[in-house]
A and B are shown apart, each in its own frame.
Chain A
Amino acid sequence: MTHQSHAYHMVKPSPWPLTGALSALLMTSGLAMWFHFHSMTLLMLGLLTNTLTMYQWWRDVTRESTYQGHHTPPVQKGLRYGMILFITSEVFFFAGFFWAFYHSSLAPTPQLGGHWPPTGITPLNPLEVPLLNTSVLLASGVSITWAHHSLMENNRNQMIQALLITILLGLYFTLLQASEYFEAPFTISDGIYGSTFFVATGFHGLHVIIGSTFLTICFIRQLMFHFTSKHHFGFEAAAWYWHFVDVVWLFLYVSIYWWGS
């Protein structure tokens, strides 16, 4: 049996890129069917196959790393670059929505009454639930750092506790924001204010859910002894993503909730 003489990971063929691409096709055409023909079958099928693909693809990554040892230091370096580049692309994604918000709010048109917030809009009080949400996410940033340090110091129980606290805070944020959405006196169709508010905060909320899911996977992996004090990149990637989500919220809070009210 021949062995490689280099430290890099030559990934074996896998069916998940194909099923992922097919699931993307099903999701997009499913959206079209839902919007225009009132049928949700294709969309649901797309979401299901997308979830199946993600589960199996990332399960295989865990198998390649924790069980087969392919994630050598150079490989890990590449993964770090990859995660940083991905998060950077997400920064640009949100930059677009902030651009839209500032474009409309810095020079409010006569149709809006010439001021921001526009006529007829009662913005949410930034010192109520939005401020609580800010403290919740900031606290979760502290707890995830605690979890990381506990992990590096081989303190298993504390790591599990701190990570659990982080996840619970993330869930609390999501629930609070959901109730805010329900109670808000304006909707997404209330002019440019509604559009910028709900699209920006909505995508942020989606990223909180994604981040919380990533953290939960890390929690399960920690329970299963996958992480060592020296090698736990999956957790670091989740932590970076979580801090990114926190920072986006801070920008949202200062720009839309506070300055924009």
Chain B
Amino acid sequence: MLRNLLALRQIGQRTISTASRRHFKNKVPEKQKLFQEDDEIPLYLKGGVADALLYRATMILTVGGKAFGMFEGTAYAIYELAVASFPKKQE
């Protein structure tokens, strides 16, 4: 059993790389190739499908949010005007 334990210890030591304990691989060269491709895709969409989804979501939320805000703000302004136009008398 001690021999198994020693073997286990050797395997454990072998799997720890000198680069980092968490086995991160250097993917920078791949990314450099991807983002330098001569394909006219704008930078903010060049990463793939996730880019397009995130872009669309951001645009919808900002422009839609602006429309919503203007509506909400206008609605509230009119509401407050209406309340102010008919003063309540407290009994």
Instruction: Determine chain A's interface SS by DSSP, over half rule.
Output: helix
Q: B residues within 8 A CB of A37?
A: 76
Residues 180-202 of A at the B interface (beta carbon under 8 Å): none
Q: Which residue of A1, A19, A25 is within 8 Å of B59 (Cβ)?
A: A19
A72 at the interface (CB under 8 A from B): no
Neighbour of A60 across the interface among B43, B57, B61, B72, CB < 8 A: B43
On chain B, the number of residues with a Cβ less than 8 Å from chain A's Cβ atoms is 34
Q: Are A16 and B76 in contact (CB under 8 A)?
A: no
Chain B residue with Cβ nearest A12: B43
Contact B31 A67, beta carbon cutoff 8 Å: yes
The answer to whether A100 has its CB under 8 Å from any CB of chain B is no
Contact A13 B54 (CB under 8 A): no
Contact-residue size bin, chain A (C-beta under 8 Å from the other chain): 35 or more
Contact assessment for B65 and A49 in the assembled complex, using a CB-CB cutoff below 8 Å: yes
By secondary structure, the B interface counts as helix
Check A48 against B36 for contact (C-beta < 8 Å): no
A226 at the interface (CB under 8 A from B): yes
Instruction: Establish whether residues B26 and A225, one from each chain, have CB atoms under 8 Å apart when the complex forms.
Output: yes
Known: A60-B44, A67-B28, A68-B35. A15 touches B55 (CB 8 A): yes
A-B contact pairs, 17 of them (CB 8 A): A12-B43, A25-B66, A26-B69, A29-B73, A37-B76, A42-B72, A45-B61, A45-B68, A45-B69, A49-B65, A52-B57, A53-B62, A64-B43, A66-B32, A67-B34, A68-B32, A223-B24
Chain B contacts to A: CB under 8 angstroms: 19-22, 24, 26-28, 31-32, 34-36, 38, 42-44, 46-47, 54-55, 57-59, 61-63, 65-66, 68-69, 72-73, 76
Residues of A within 8 A of B (CB): 1, 12-16, 18-19, 22-23, 25-26, 29-30, 33, 37, 39, 41-42, 45-46, 48-49, 52-53, 56, 60, 63-64, 66-69, 156-157, 160, 223-226
